[in-house]
Structure formats: structure tokens, C-alpha cells
Amino acid sequence: MDIPDTQITNISSREFFGECYASAEVLNTTLNNWLNSQTFRPLKEQLLEQLNTSDSIRIILQTEDNQTRKLPFQVWNFFERYSQAEMALGIQAYERVETLYSSLSDAGKVQILAILGNSKGIDIQKDRAILEQLPSVEITFLVEPQRQQLNDKLWSQPWDILFFAGHSTSIADGEAGFIYINQNDILTISQLRNALKKAISQGLQLAIFNSCDGLGLAANLADLQIPQMIVMREPVPDRVAQEFLKNFLTEFSTGKSLYQSVREAREKLQGLEDEFPCASWLPVLIQFPSLIPPTCFVLIGE
């Protein structure tokens, strides 16, 4: 919430932030009490028996309930013990896909399609600058494209990563999301369904929506069986989105796993939480359950 300096309010920023921190602590405590309760004890005991603290661990929560998907399960104290573990969301109903995807670097340079949509009131040029600093990649930028232009690009060649920065939103129940591709056009995933299915069949492995309120987008894309997605659970400030993107790509480009890169980039956002409370709760990884991601996505080509 941005409050103009000249506006008279009934609460100070310090009081407002204090209430945010207090509410976050209550949610953190309540969520941990629930996950550590007798109901979940058998599951937790099995995890502790089977897993080593040095293991790289993917935990996928399969649920269709939108309120549950909004909960920051990453604050579960289980993750303090397992520093190489990260939580992802997955859908419950899906068809098994046998395809195993190889490392992004196997074919040489990573192909990225970057969509820079409606930027009214936000700065997405920093997102572009971050992407342009990546080594040994080929990036195609579409700046406020028309629908036909975006559709044609998705069909035109194999892509490894789809990136979107701009305005986006989800409807209240989280069943659908919208991206604002330019000043006039708002699209749903279903309006790009055929083009996205083609891109996925040609090897699209990761979609990153560095934009607000992306759970609806994730729900729609999951139906298309895209292997992995990164979205923001709620509306996200520019600075938080840009810092996450920079940190994620920095970790990812060194050869770390997708899950570990997301975790480290997410946890680094804690440094901004004096200004943006609970910023580290916003990014979330979405995993198609029957697809095993490569042990390492390498963004360094030949």
C-alpha cells in the first residue's frame, strides 16, 4: 500500500507494518501448529526416517483448494532442518506423462521468449536489463505485443523458457488468470491454448510470471501439462519482483537445481521485509506432478 506523504491517515506506517508483522507471526505459528499436529505426525515421521538433511528434496503439495494454495507452507519448521528442500504446488487430477526433459543446455543456447506487457505504473525495464545480462542465451523480446504476434511467436520455434513481466491478475477463486499484454488487450491462458500446447510439445520447460497474483495463471497452465512454473501468490511490488528475478537467475545460471534456486532467491527477499513485510512468502514454484525436472537446468550454453 502506497500512502502519499501529504495524506493524513489514522495510522502511521510503523503501526501498519507492526500489525503486518504481528499477523504474519500468528499465521506462521498457527500453520506450524497445524502441520506439526497429531494429524500430520505419521507423515512427518516418515519424512524424517527416509530423508537425509543433505538431500535435495522436492515436496509437492497437490491441492485444488485456492485458499490452501495461498498459504506460505515454506515457513514450516521442517524446512529449517532440510536446507536443500523446497515446496511446490501441484494439481490433483492429471494424466501421467512419461517424457523426461533433459538439461536446458543440451542443445546449446537456451531459448527464452520474454513478453514485456502493459507496464503502466510499473518499471519492467529492469526485468529486461536483468535478462539481458544472462550469459550464452538467446532472448526474443516482445514489447506490448498484439495477440496475433504473441501467438505466432509461440508457434515459430522451440522455446525453453517463457517469461512475462507486466500486469496480471487472477479471479477470486483462483481458477483463471489474466495477463495484460499491451495497453488494450487482456488475455487468458485459454486464449493462447493452442500456441502454448505447441510450445510445450516442442520442449517448453519453464514459465516465469514475474507479475502480480499468478495462481490463476498457474492453474490454467497446469492443465496444459507445462513442467514447471514460477508465479507470485499475491500482488507484488516492483522491487520485490525484480530482486527475486535477479537472485533466481543468478543461482540458476550457476547450475543449481530449479528448486534450490527458487528457495535461495525467495529467502534472500527477507532482506527487503523491513519495507515489504513477508516478501519472501510471495514466490511459489508450480510442478506438474508426473514430470521429473532435470537435476540441473544450466543457463550457460556452449
Q: Which three cell numbers stand for residue 203?
A: 520442449
pLDDT at position 116 over 80: yes
Strands 177-180 and 186-188, bridge-based pairing: antiparallel
CATH of domain 104-287: 3.40.50.1460
Q: Are 113 and 209 in contact (CB under 8 A)?
A: no
pTM attached to this predicted model: 0.88
The grid coordinates of residue 215 equal: 495462481
Give residue 12's pLDDT: 66
Give per-residue pLDDT as tens, 31-49: 999 999 999 999 999 999 9
| Phi, psi torsion values for 110, nearest 5 degrees | -75, 130
Between 34 and 65, name the one with better pLDDT. Answer: 34
Task: Write down the pLDDT at residue 109.
Answer: 83
279, 270 Cβ separation under 8 angstroms:
yes
Residue with cell 495477440: 147
Contact indicator for 77, 36 with CB cutoff of 8 Å: yes
Number of neighbours of residue 93 by Cβ within 10 angstroms:
8
For residue 211, the SS3 value is coil
User: Measured over all CA atoms, what is the biggest interatomic distance in the chain, rounded to whole angstroms?
Assistant: 60
Residue 10 is predicted with a pLDDT of: 55
> Mean pLDDT score of the chain, rounded to an integer?
87
For residue 1, pLDDT beyond 70:
no
List the grid coordinates of 260. 534450490
Stronger pLDDT, 48 or 2, i.e. the higher one: 48
Strands 283-287 and 85-90: parallel
User: Which SS3 state, helix, strand or coil, does residue 72 take?
Assistant: coil
In the three-class reduction of DSSP (H, G, I as helix; E, B as strand; rest coil), residue 132 is classed as helix
List pLDDT tens digits, range 15-32. 888 899 999 999 999 999
Q: According to CATH, where is 3.40.50.1460 located in the chain?
A: 104-287
Band (pLDDT 50/70/90 cuts) for residue 136 is confident
**Per-residue burial over 214-247, b = 16 or more CB atoms within 10 Å of its CB, e = otherwise:** bbbbbbbbbebbbbbbbbbbeebbbebbbbbbbb
Beta-bridge mates of residue 57: 85
Q: What is the pLDDT of residues 217-272, one digit of tens each?
A: 988 888 888 889 999 999 999 999 999 999 999 998 888 889 999 999 999 999 99
Query: Is the pLDDT assigned to residue 104 strictly greater than 70?
Result: no
